[in-house]
Structure 1
Amino acid sequence: MRWTTRLLCVGLLAGAGSACASDSTSSSLPTLKIDSARTAVVGLSSGAYMAGQVQMAYPELFPNAALVAGGPYDCAGGKLDVALGSCMKGVPAPDVAALVARAEQRAAAGEIGALDKLAHARVYLLHGKDDALVAPAVAEAAVQFYQQLRDGVPGLDGMQVHDDGTRAFAHNLPVAGSGDDCDKSVAPYLGHCGFDAAGEIFAQMFGKPAHAATTAKGELRTFDQDALRPDGTDAFMADTGYVYLPAACLAGQPCGVVVAFHGCKQNAAAVGKAFVEDAGFNRWADVYNVAVLYPQNRASFAPLNPQACWDWWGYSGADYDTRQGVQLRWLVNAVHALGLPAGH
């Protein structure tokens, strides 16, 4: 048993919505009929950085991304002090032009995916103007990164970049209900702001919904994350992850995939199933016929990650944000196990 995980793991997002109809345990992910044209990665804070890394490293798998309160790809450059300064406080401001040039170099070297796979990407960047943890200027640097990538790389003029940065909320994921925590950054990091961020994310990724979401009626299952370690290598993740499965997906209908990454101090060991049940993604997953994968990180002292953040500065190794990054390779194993074709 990982005692450090049991004592230190902290938090995942949570949000508005009802608990799903059933909750079951399984040792492995089910194999679904995955529609590879409907995939996306989403995340809050460190999860937003992780989502951006996945998109850039494996654009053939996940060309679409929604980043909530996150900055541009490769912002930290493998340095914790840069992560804490430039990439959170915006001092100094991230050098967006240099990051774009670096991404082009890495793509040419095969360290990340081919940029032409982003030709029809949808990118949604949501951040609150009252965010005191990740400065709005950092989130705007992420917007500029995608805009410069789209405008400067041949063939990417079809990339859609939507900047949603004028809403009044703090460092959290806004949810549909009303409450007194919209202007706060407190566990489980769900701001009851009267804005359904999950619904907007799904609309941005997959188009307008056929009908409104009501309550989640599918299955929320657990699965063994250790079984998906790449080549048996520790990916510094929790033992157990979660996956939400709409009834249509379980019935064999074509099903999309959304991977939802929690932020720091937000894994299930700290806030239980708040994020995986209440963030609002499951309700919309039923509407869109999309499975939602909720990977879980773990906290540790060695490597130093006491807040269970996803690796966006290098604690898992120098190649953390490339196709060789251990957490990124774990995710590839997971989505292939779920049924996403290996050829994509």
Structure 2
Amino acid sequence: MRLRNALLALAAATGLAATGLSMSTAAVPAPQPGTLGGYDITGTYVSGLSSGGFMANQLHVAYSGLFQGAGIFSAGAYDCAQNNVNTALYACMDTYQQRKTPAELEQLTRNRAAAGTVDPPQNLSGDPVWLFHGSADDTVDRAVNDDLATYYRDFGARVVYNNTSAAGHAWVSPIGPNSCGATSSPYVNRCGTTDPVKEMLGHLFGQVNAAASTLSGKLVQFDQSTYVPGGNPASVSMGREGFAYVPRPCESGPCKLMVTLHGCYQYYGLVGNALMDKGYLNEYADTNNMIVLYPQATTMTGNPRGCWDWWGYQSAQYPLKSGPQMTAVVNMVKAMSGARPTTPPTTTTSTSDCVTASNYAHTTAGRAYAVAGQTYAMGSNQALGLWNTFTSSSIRQSSPNYWVKC
């Protein structure tokens, strides 16, 4: 059954089959067109479910100098998938295949930090991290979620791990429309009177005020093309519209920012405002001076379920600072505090310099990528040989993110 479920889920991570959804607009206000204006942001955090949880971890690791903590429902350790959909399916959701150990992924992170493609992992030390996995979750194996806890703890993060709930594969909220053990659209469950959202925010912020019974803020709908490299969201499997819930006090005073990333089958174009309406974040936003940013992925070839890129369907640079989706979300975060969108500078040598290194080192530095045990130059796709630490090759960057053999 679990293998069948994994095949149905492809590689992502939330949902095994789309079902009908009765949308509710009872809590969240109707969206109003706007832009991501400059607010007084005092701290930035990230949360997500499944593919959004993998993406939340990628953002927290790659931009650990920007994000101060993470809350993750059902996901695995940084770059578990290793740019391979089969690894994503059978090692990072199910566990039929061998996967990288937390220690190996930690060393990979250090190597990438040394190459400048992610921030120094020392930044993770002391960061609050809240993790959740339900006992009825057959989409992402418990052992994979355990690896994420180990990964964070080994880097010194302050981890709280809730793995005692009977929840299925879903975001869990006191107002979720689904039963606790369900794994079905819109992937927002209710588990009695428990409130994991309060637990998450309390750990991330230190304390949290009671949730509002009614909402007084506004839901801003903005054009994501402003923040996507190249200006075409569809080209990187992102939707045209994104959303931000802004409480009234945040329009004129200091506020925290929570970036919340949906899972597969949970994007706006399919389920509408389900996560924004029933995720129970806006209710806490109103009483805790918190803006909630809801970026949106969508479908494309290789991503029929609208997942965030955590296995390389859109770009081999998906877990790096230069990953297109990563760049887009960070541009949104920067815009919230008044900064202009930017493209991360390349961290490689000049276009005329050859770099000689093992093929493994080339991939960890973002100069190449690996498929089926073979290595290919980023951009040109030229074959470099076996992907290991013993086979070396010399390549140079002929244009930004475009590498060729010397």
Q: Which residue of 1 aligns with 2:168?
A: 170
Query: Does structure 1 conserve the Cα–Cα contact (< 8 Å) formed by 2:37 and 2:338?
Result: no
Q: Deviations over 1:117-147 (max 9, x none)?
A: 2233111111101111111111111111112
Q: Which residue of 2 aligns with 1:105?
A: 111
Q: Which residue of 1 aligns with 2:35?
A: 28
Q: Which residue of 1 aligns with 2:263?
A: 263
- Over alpha carbons, which structure has the higher Rg? 2
Give the Å deviation of 1:91: 2.5
Give the Å deviation of 1:50: 0.2
| Distance in 2 (alpha carbons) for counterparts of 1:93 and 1:128 | 23
Aligned AA (2:150): Q
Query: Does structure 1 conserve the Cα–Cα contact (< 8 Å) formed by 2:212 and 2:284?
Result: yes
Q: Is 1:246 the counterpart of 2:247 in the alignment?
A: yes
Aligned AA (1:264): C
Give the Å deviation of 1:196: 2.0
Q: Which residue of 2 aligns with 1:285?
A: 285
Give the Å deviation of 1:216: 2.2
Give the Å deviation of 1:207: 1.7
| Distance in 2 (alpha carbons) for counterparts of 1:144 and 1:23 | 41
| Distance in 2 (alpha carbons) for counterparts of 1:249 and 1:256 | 9
CA separation of 1:71/1:340 partners in 2, compared to 1, >3 Å: closer, same or farther? farther
Query: Does structure 2 conserve the Cα–Cα contact (< 8 Å) formed by 1:69 and 1:127?
Result: yes
Q: Deviations over 1:193-237 (max 9, x none)?
A: 122222222111112223443222211111001121224364320
Q: Which residue of 1 aligns with 2:275?
A: 275
Q: Which residue of 1 aligns with 2:231?
A: 232
Give the Å deviation of 1:243: 0.6
CA separation of 1:129/1:15 partners in 2, compared to 1, >3 Å: closer, same or farther? farther
Q: Deviations over 1:15-64 (max 9, x none)?
A: 999513x43422421221111xx211000000000000000110111130
Paired residue secondary structure (2:67): coil
Query: Does structure 2 conserve the Cα–Cα contact (< 8 Å) formed by 1:14 and 1:275?
Result: no
TM-score (norm: length of structure 2):
0.74
Paired residue secondary structure (2:161): strand
| Distance in 2 (alpha carbons) for counterparts of 1:218 and 1:224 | 20
Query: Does structure 2 conserve the Cα–Cα contact (< 8 Å) formed by 1:15 and 1:173?
Result: no
TM-score (norm: length of structure 1):
0.87
CA separation of 1:14/1:204 partners in 2, compared to 1, >3 Å: closer, same or farther? farther
CA separation of 1:109/1:179 partners in 2, compared to 1, >3 Å: closer, same or farther? closer
CA-based RMSD: 2.4
List gaps (5 residues or longer) in structure 1.
Answer: 1-9, 151-158
Aligned AA (1:148): D
| Distance in 2 (alpha carbons) for counterparts of 1:110 and 1:16 | 44
Tell which has more relative contact order, 1 or 2 (C-alpha 8 A, sep 6+): 1
Give the Å deviation of 1:177: 4.1
Superposed counterparts of 1:311-330, under 5 Å: 311-330=309-328
CA separation of 1:27/1:178 partners in 2, compared to 1, >3 Å: closer, same or farther? closer
Q: Which residue of 1 aligns with 2:89?
A: 84
Query: Does structure 2 conserve the Cα–Cα contact (< 8 Å) formed by 1:18 and 1:216?
Result: no
CA separation of 1:178/1:186 partners in 2, compared to 1, >3 Å: closer, same or farther? closer
CA separation of 1:263/1:180 partners in 2, compared to 1, >3 Å: closer, same or farther? closer
Aligned AA (1:83): A
| Distance in 2 (alpha carbons) for counterparts of 1:283 and 1:15 | 18
Count of residues in correspondence between the two structures: 319
Taking only the aligned residue pairs, the percentage that are identical comes to: 34
CA separation of 1:216/1:240 partners in 2, compared to 1, >3 Å: closer, same or farther? same
Paired residue secondary structure (1:259): strand
List gaps (5 residues or longer) in structure 2.
Answer: 1-17, 343-406
Query: Does structure 2 conserve the Cα–Cα contact (< 8 Å) formed by 1:16 and 1:175?
Result: no
Paired residue secondary structure (1:103): helix
